[in-house]
Chain A
Amino acid sequence: MKRVQYLAIPAWTPGWMMVMAALAVIIAIAGGAVLYMEHQGHWVTGMTNQVVWGMPHVFAIFLIVAASGALNVASIGSVFGREPYQPLGRLSALMAMALLAGGLGVLVLDLGRPDRLVVAITHFNVKSIFAWNVILYSGFFAVVGFYLWAMIDWRMKRAYKPAAITAFLWRLILTTGTGSIFGFLLARDAYNAAVMAPLFIAMSFAFGLALFILFILGATTALNRPLSMELVRRKGRLLGLFVAANLYFVAIQHVTALYMADRVAVETFLLLQGGLYTALFWGGQVLLGALVPLILVFRPNASRCRVRAASVLVVLGGIAQIYVILIGGQAFPLTLFPGMEVSSSFQDGLVAAYAPTAAEILLGLGGFALALLIAVIGASALRILPASLGDGDEATAEIILAEGDPVAAP
């Protein structure tokens, strides 16, 4: 039986150094932005007592959601036994951990007191879904790390399948937990719905795969390794399925809300009269983030370029989607007196204005850079990327005949 050849990314080459340096610079700038915001206090950001979670949270939630989605490729290969996906399992697990680290980094650095992070571990409120997420996130690193080890080390072959299943279940729970952060907010008209959890799972599938495709395309180009067009198209079509699923849950989210009389106001705001939020919803999330990518990937013989464009659009549409959910949901005023008009010195009854500042955006981009940095370092230190994902006799054999048949292993 032929083995898949895995090769580490050759480190310390000029190109590698350049990528590393660029990422390090972005991370350093993000670090500067954090110091500035923490030193001055949050009044220098766009966040207020009305919009308490801003742009950093948009990026953080995107990355965290994408992290569990990035694990999908590995799960499809191992849990569901789809062989063409198996050679990419290692990268999938590595990316999942890298993205989660990037997202958590942003989340933690936006705390009012990031210096008290240890308190979040020593003081634990069992009723808080947020506290549960602390456990889910740390557990994710352990579970996926072990899974990666089981994939890399042939002596761990026995553990491979159980590790794969555990990781798959863990990520489903993790995304449910992230979605539930919103679902549990009974007072916010835009959030309080059970559909938030499955919606976040669909989002994670789409965003994670889009980032994964972009990384594969970038890495094979940069390293000059062969990549089968068939594999690219197959991934593109899978992305299309996930995007469609996301769109389906978005439709459920809004249609069910429209049936509830007390939700009509917030829905009208988001879908029709919300200005920026309405534009981001229809133009960013639905059109550019879903419909256009669907057309791109389902065209027969979609080219590499099309799949790449579709993935980029899914990422941008995803950021727009989280922006609309998170910021749009907070901008809409809380209802203290249903059916009444209210005003106060504390912005009651007013749509809150929020404009992200450069510092917040830089912090968010720093999260992306951190994730990419971890992924590249990981793929340089370990044998993560297959030597070839090409077509042709030798390459196909390399892809398909994964080492032994891990799925059949006891």
Chain B
Amino acid sequence: MSQPTSRRDLLKAAAIGAVAIAPGLTLIAPAAARPLGTGASAANRWGLLIDTSKCDAGCTACVDACKTEMGLTGHDRPLTDSQYIRKVDVTDPASGHRHSLPVMCQHCAKPPCVDVCPTGASMKRADGIVLVDRHICIGCRYCMMACPYKARSFIHEDQSGQKPDNPRGKGCVESCTLCAHRIDAGGQPACVESCAKDGRAAMLFGDLNDPNSEISRRVSTEATSRIRADLGVEPAIRYQGI
């Protein structure tokens, strides 16, 4: 399979260009850019920690940033337009307590979408990021049936305004990439960046495999949980206060 490799190189080249014109990106980066020609490493396990007590129901900074970053212009059709990340408002009917949190692909360690995909288009990188290979997705939508988090969208019509880092073709399935293109360049996901800047700094990105990362330190010292942990798919997205 030479296609995906060559495209990955291309993306990386593009990403390095981005670093050059936006050096600020590297200042807040938790890890160094991956050198050209090397694959994602199993030494990393990229993940997020989201503190829902900071997150506000009215805030959609992460969602807006994702749309811009990934070129999700949409057609004003909420039932068929793609959404990589959405704000879910949760109410406890017993107490009336409300909270709000962003939900995106949870980059499961045991991803059902990958298990069911007939062609292997749904795949998990060595560093745990789950992606759809747009070259071999046949658009069967079985992964959408299998995903417990409703994280995936089907591209229901022709798209315009695409971003080079996120090519989108009608008839394929897509979802949050954890901004793999930014991570590979040593950056962090667009949602996390904008949550820190325009939102309430509720999201923390980092390497769950690195014991010295801030995310690992917090996960090991504070109570965190995962959505539907009972399903055993081991998401890389952790939450506090759900």
Distance in Å: Cβ of A127 to nearest Cβ of chain B: 5
Q: Is A111 an interface residue (CB 8 A)?
A: yes
The answer to whether residues A111 and B79 also contact, given A123-B119, A341-B90, A344-B88 and a CB cut-off of 8 A, is no
Which one of A120, A343, A347 contacts B118 once the chains associate, using CB atoms below 8 Å?
Answer: A120
Distance in Å: Cβ of A330 to nearest Cβ of chain B: 8
Which one of B80, B87, B140, B148 contacts A43 once the chains associate, using CB atoms below 8 Å?
Answer: B80
Contacts of A134 in B (CB 8 A): 118
Distance in Å: Cβ of A359 to nearest Cβ of chain B: 14
Q: Is B242 an interface residue (CB 8 A)?
A: yes
Contact B150 A348 (CB under 8 A): yes
Contact A112 B155 (CB under 8 A): yes
Mark interface residues in A369-398 (1 if CB within 8 Å of B CB, else 0).
000000000000000000000000000000
A334's nearest neighbour on chain B, judged by CB, is B150
Contacts of B228 in A (CB 8 A): 187, 335-336, 338
Most B CB contacts (10 A, CB to CB) among A49, A131, A188, A347 go to: A49
Q: Is A116 an interface residue (CB 8 A)?
A: yes
Docked pose: A128 CA to B118 CA in angstroms: 5
A112's nearest neighbour on chain B, judged by CB, is B139
Contact A342 B116 (CB under 8 A): no
Mark interface residues in B79-107 (1 if CB within 8 Å of A CB, else 0).
11011001111111100000000010000
A123's nearest neighbour on chain B, judged by CB, is B119
B147's nearest neighbour on chain A, judged by CB, is A187
Q: Is B146 an interface residue (CB 8 A)?
A: yes
Mark interface residues in A29-65 (1 if CB within 8 Å of B CB, else 0).
0000000001011110001111011000000000000
The answer to whether residues A346 and B115 also contact, given A111-B138, A113-B172 and a CB cut-off of 8 A, is no
Docked pose: A48 CA to B117 CA in angstroms: 19
Contact A341 B91 (CB under 8 A): yes
Contacts of B117 in A (CB 8 A): 125, 128, 130
Contacts of B197 in A (CB 8 A): none
Contact B83 A123 (CB under 8 A): no
Mark out the residues of chain A between 346 and 374 whose CB falls within 8 Å of any chain B CB in the assembled complex: 346-348
The answer to whether residues A347 and B121 also contact, given A49-B144, A113-B172, A116-B138 and a CB cut-off of 8 A, is no
Contacts of A343 in B (CB 8 A): 88-89
Docked pose: A67 CA to B240 CA in angstroms: 51
Contact B139 A111 (CB under 8 A): yes
The answer to whether residues A342 and B89 also contact, given A131-B118, A131-B119 and a CB cut-off of 8 A, is yes
The answer to whether residues A119 and B138 also contact, given A127-B115, A340-B92 and a CB cut-off of 8 A, is yes
Contacts of A340 in B (CB 8 A): 90-93
Mark interface residues in B118-143 (1 if CB within 8 Å of A CB, else 0).
11110000000000000011111110
Docked pose: A186 CA to B115 CA in angstroms: 12
Contact B80 A49 (CB under 8 A): yes
Docked pose: A47 CA to B79 CA in angstroms: 9
Q: Is B158 an interface residue (CB 8 A)?
A: yes
Tell me the dominant secondary structure on chain B's binding face.
loop
Docked pose: A346 CA to B88 CA in angstroms: 8
Contact A53 B145 (CB under 8 A): yes
Distance in Å: Cβ of A108 to nearest Cβ of chain B: 9
Contact B78 A345 (CB under 8 A): yes
Which one of A334, A335, A347, A348 contacts B79 once the chains associate, using CB atoms below 8 Å?
Answer: A347
Docked pose: A102 CA to B80 CA in angstroms: 28
Docked pose: A348 CA to B103 CA in angstroms: 11
Tell me the dominant secondary structure on chain A's binding face.
loop
Which one of A43, A125, A347 contacts B119 once the chains associate, using CB atoms below 8 Å?
Answer: A125
Q: Is B231 an interface residue (CB 8 A)?
A: yes
B78's nearest neighbour on chain A, judged by CB, is A345
Which one of B79, B86, B157 contacts A48 once the chains associate, using CB atoms below 8 Å?
Answer: B79
Contacts of B140 in A (CB 8 A): 111-112, 130
Which one of B103, B115, B119, B145 contacts A124 once the chains associate, using CB atoms below 8 Å?
Answer: B119
Q: Is A245 an interface residue (CB 8 A)?
A: no
Contact A49 B79 (CB under 8 A): yes
Which one of A114, A334, A342, A345 contacts B90 once the chains associate, using CB atoms below 8 Å?
Answer: A342
Contact B120 A124 (CB under 8 A): yes
Docked pose: A343 CA to B172 CA in angstroms: 26
B157's nearest neighbour on chain A, judged by CB, is A41
Mark out the residues of chain A between 94 and 113 whose CB falls within 8 Å of any chain B CB in the assembled complex: 111-113
Distance in Å: Cβ of A72 to nearest Cβ of chain B: 28
Q: Is A337 an interface residue (CB 8 A)?
A: yes
Contacts of B152 in A (CB 8 A): 49
Contacts of B231 in A (CB 8 A): 186-187
Q: Is A129 an interface residue (CB 8 A)?
A: yes
B79's nearest neighbour on chain A, judged by CB, is A48
Docked pose: A395 CA to B127 CA in angstroms: 72
Contact B112 A187 (CB under 8 A): yes
Contact B79 A112 (CB under 8 A): no
Q: Would you list 22 pairs from A and B whose C-beta atoms are within 8 A, ordered by A residue?
A: A40-B157, A41-B155, A41-B158, A43-B156, A43-B157, A49-B152, A50-B150, A52-B141, A112-B138, A112-B140, A112-B171, A116-B138, A117-B138, A123-B121, A127-B114, A131-B119, A186-B146, A188-B145, A336-B103, A342-B88, A347-B79, A348-B88
If A125-B119, A128-B116 are given as contacts, then 14 extra A-B residue pairs at C-beta distance below 8 Å, sorted by A number, are A38-B171, A42-B154, A42-B156, A43-B156, A52-B145, A112-B170, A112-B172, A113-B138, A127-B116, A185-B146, A334-B150, A336-B103, A345-B63, A346-B78
Query: Which residues of B are interface residues toward A (Cβ below 8 A)?
Result: 63, 75, 77-80, 82-83, 86-93, 103, 112, 114-121, 136-142, 144-150, 152-158, 169-173, 227-228, 231, 242
Nearest 5 A/B pairs, CB to CB: A112-B139, A112-B171, A187-B148, A41-B157, A43-B156
